[in-house]
Structure 1
Amino acid sequence: MPEAETILYVCTTCRREGDDPEAPRAGARLHAELVQRAGALRVEPVECLSVCKRPCTVAVASPGRWTYVYGDLDPAEAAETILAGIGAYAGTSDGIVPWRERPKEFRSGVIARIPPFPPRPEAAE
């Protein structure tokens, strides 16, 4: 069975307190940094993850695995941490990385854990 693709969604509308309203938002800056460093990882911008009180926010998803949403990330310093955490996630069969093996920012910044979609029933013949 081929390895399922892992996708990192980055909220590009996240704004941190004190951000210059005329400058790119913190989420857009984080997205740009992740795209630059991601290699083969698919990094998708999204306009809103509805976690405005905990910017910057990302979500990681993969078919058959749990989906996670993380917030309170620093756009200037979080890219390396995020990519390390996503690497650990991608190395699991179910998306569950043991708590102690997660980057510190993922342990404190987890917002939601969403179960995988159940497999589709085979079409009746």
Structure 2
Amino acid sequence: MPDTASEPVVLYVCTTCRAEGDGDGPRAGARLLAAIQAELEAGPAGALRVEPVECLSVCKRPCTVAVAGPGRWTYVYGDLDPGHSARTILDGIGFYAEAPDGIVPWRARPEAFRKGVVARIPPRGEGPAGR
């Protein structure tokens, strides 16, 4: 098994998510991305790469992010508040980065992650179809 501990965790942030009440200004997803980037400027986040994406196809549960890493389960989270979720997301990703397979014990996950989980996707090559 390759050593993936030094490879960065990737946070995908849907920048096209719309929240109720979004007007002519930036969409909720773009505001969430800006808030995450502002939090990252305030302090180190370890091996984390943030990537804006056009759409995660979870339009009924904005704002949405996905977190992935080599050899780890991928998680998609929705229903995140663009104005108040940045620190929660980064804290949750810290737990994810510490777990070799990306599986964080349920009680250790931030509440927003427990309530907002949309999908959990196995690492590539896991299970009978990947062998």
Question: TM-score when scaled to structure 2?
Answer: 0.86
**AA at the equivalent of 1:78:** S
- The 3-state SS of whatever aligns with 1:113 is strand
- Aligned twin of 2:57: 50
- Aligned twin of 2:18: 15
Please report how far the alpha carbon of residue 33 of structure 1 lies from its aligned counterpart in structure 2 after TM superposition.
1.1
Structure with the bigger percentage of helix = 2
Please report how far the alpha carbon of residue 105 of structure 1 lies from its aligned counterpart in structure 2 after TM superposition.
0.4
- Aligned twin of 1:36: 38
- The 3-state SS of whatever aligns with 1:14 is coil
Please report how far the alpha carbon of residue 2 of structure 1 lies from its aligned counterpart in structure 2 after TM superposition.
5.2
Q: Deviations over 1:29-63 (max 9, x none)?
A: 00011122234421100000000000000000000
Indicate which of 6, 9, 27 corresponds to 2:9: 6
Across the two proteins, how many residue pairs are aligned to each other?
A: 118
- The 3-state SS of whatever aligns with 1:118 is coil
Percent identity, please.
69
**8 Å CA contact 2:92, 2:110 repeated in 1:** yes
Gaps of 5+ in 1: 120-125
CA separation of 1:99/1:24 partners in 2, compared to 1, >3 Å: closer, same or farther?
A: same
What is the alpha-carbon distance in structure 2 between the residues aligned to residue 28 and residue 19 of structure 1?
Answer: 11
What is the alpha-carbon distance in structure 2 between the residues aligned to residue 5 and residue 76 of structure 1?
Answer: 25
Please report how far the alpha carbon of residue 98 of structure 1 lies from its aligned counterpart in structure 2 after TM superposition.
0.4
- Aligned twin of 2:85: 78
What is the alpha-carbon distance in structure 1 between the residues aligned to residue 20 and residue 4 of structure 2?
Answer: 43
**8 Å CA contact 2:4, 2:70 repeated in 1:** no
Gaps of 5+ in 2: 127-131
**AA at the equivalent of 1:102:** R
Q: Deviations over 1:93-122 (max 9, x none)?
A: 000000010000000000000000018xxx
**AA at the equivalent of 1:14:** C
- Aligned twin of 1:25: 27
What is the alpha-carbon distance in structure 2 between the residues aligned to residue 31 and residue 24 of structure 1?
Answer: 11
